[in-house]
């Protein structure tokens, strides 16, 4: 039996990399999926058609979710189309890295708008229409726990904030049977961080399992947290990092 059959899932940032793998897994598990994406419209439409080719119900929405109004309108569109939300997966994020004195004056506002405010607003709106069994899953980063080098102050700070947000959501929503959990990947083989890229060897140095992870491995963990089997798990952080944090 498909574990998400009859459910509606939103994947914010769901057309590339880890997000695309999660969208595929949500579809494979039987969900109708709304995917919110930022750019590359032609690629997004092609991805949507790929998912629909097997009969899946997939709805694409282009929006800059760092803009609160755009994000609100996008989620409202999902509710209008499907009438419900059962699973929210917050994937979209950005990295601004470099020497501390090189950050632009607006760097803090830009990175926190996308990496922290957007998942908070999305969770607030989506949870308002979720019933018992609702799931909120946010994709963070292992650098929230361990920053291995310089240049990542803002990125690490934004990802660390997601842990507190997740624990707060768990307390606020638990009585309604809605769970909230955080997934923190380590080095994952994607377009942004390829296993054969210039930083790959350094990225693998802290690992116990000396390889990049795959986006499908992250999607598998997300699928479990979205399922009914994970109904007693909330406020938790799951590191999928090949032993980076060991």
Cα–Cα distance for residue pair 238/145, rounded to 1 Å? 12
What is the percentage of the chain residues whose pLDDT exceeds 70?
100
Cα–Cα distance for residue pair 79/82, rounded to 1 Å? 5
- The sign one gets for the Cα dihedral 45, 50, 53, 55 is negative
Please write the tens of the pLDDT for every residue from 8-17: 999 999 999 9
The 10 Å Cβ neighbour count of residue 195 is 15
Of the candidates 4, 240, 35, 16, which has an alpha carbon nearest to the alpha carbon of residue 139?
240
Banded pLDDT at 118 (limits 50, 70, 90)? very high
**Region 198-221: what's the mean pLDDT?**
93
- Is 155 a residue of the active site? yes
Q: What is the CA radius of gyration of the chain?
A: 17
Of the candidates 1, 4, 5, 29, which has an alpha carbon nearest to the alpha carbon of residue 216?
29
Which one of the listed residues 37, 103, 155, 224 is annotated catalytic? 155
The 10 Å Cβ neighbour count of residue 191 is 10
Give, in words, the CATH class of 8-240.
alpha beta
| Secondary structure element (H or E) that encloses residue 12, with its range | strand 8-12
The 10 Å Cβ neighbour count of residue 54 is 8
Please write the tens of the pLDDT for every residue from 184-196: 999 999 988 888 8
Query: What is the DSSP-derived secondary structure letter of residue 235?
Result: S
Cα–Cα distance for residue pair 117/100, rounded to 1 Å? 22
Please write the tens of the pLDDT for every residue from 126-174: 999 999 999 999 999 999 998 888 889 999 999 999 999 999 999 999 9
Phi, psi for 184 (deg, rounded to 5) = -115, 95
Average model confidence (pLDDT) for the chain? 95
Residue 127: the pLDDT is: 98
Tell me the three state secondary structure of residue 32.
strand
Banded pLDDT at 1 (limits 50, 70, 90)? low
pLDDT greater than 70 at residue 31 = yes
Residue 199: the pLDDT is: 83
């Amino acid at each position: 039996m498909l574990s998400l059959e009859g459910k509606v899932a939103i994947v914010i940032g769901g057309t590339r990399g880890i997000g695309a793998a999660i969208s595929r897994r949500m579809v494979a598990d039987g969900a109708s999926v709304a995917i919110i994406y930022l750019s590359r419209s032609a690629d997004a439409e092609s991805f949507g058609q790929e998912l629909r080719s097997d009969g899946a119900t997939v709805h694409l929405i282009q929006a800059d979710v760092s803009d609160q109004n755009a994000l609100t309108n996008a989620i409202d569109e999902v509710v209008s189309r499907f009438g419900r939300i059962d699973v929210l997966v917050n994937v979209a994020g950005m990295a601004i890295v470099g020497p501390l004195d090189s950050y632009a004056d607006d760097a803090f506002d830009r990175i926190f708008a996308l990496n922290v405010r957007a998942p908070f607003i999305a969770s607030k709106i989506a949870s308002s229409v979720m019933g018992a069994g609702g799931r909120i899953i946010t994709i963070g980063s292992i650098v929230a726990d361990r920053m291995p080098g310089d240049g990542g102050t803002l990125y690490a700070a934004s990802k660390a904030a997601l842990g507190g947000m997740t624990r707060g959501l768990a307390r606020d929503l638990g009585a309604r049977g809605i769970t909230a959990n955080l997934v923190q990947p380590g080095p994952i083989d994607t377009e942004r961080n390829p296993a054969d890229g210039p930083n790959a060897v350094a990225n693998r140095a802290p690992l116990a399992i000396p390889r990049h992870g795959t986006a499908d491995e992250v999607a598998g963990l997300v699928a479990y947290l979205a399922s009914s089997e994970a109904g007693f798990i909330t406020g938790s952080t799951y590191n999928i990092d090949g032993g980076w944090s060991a």
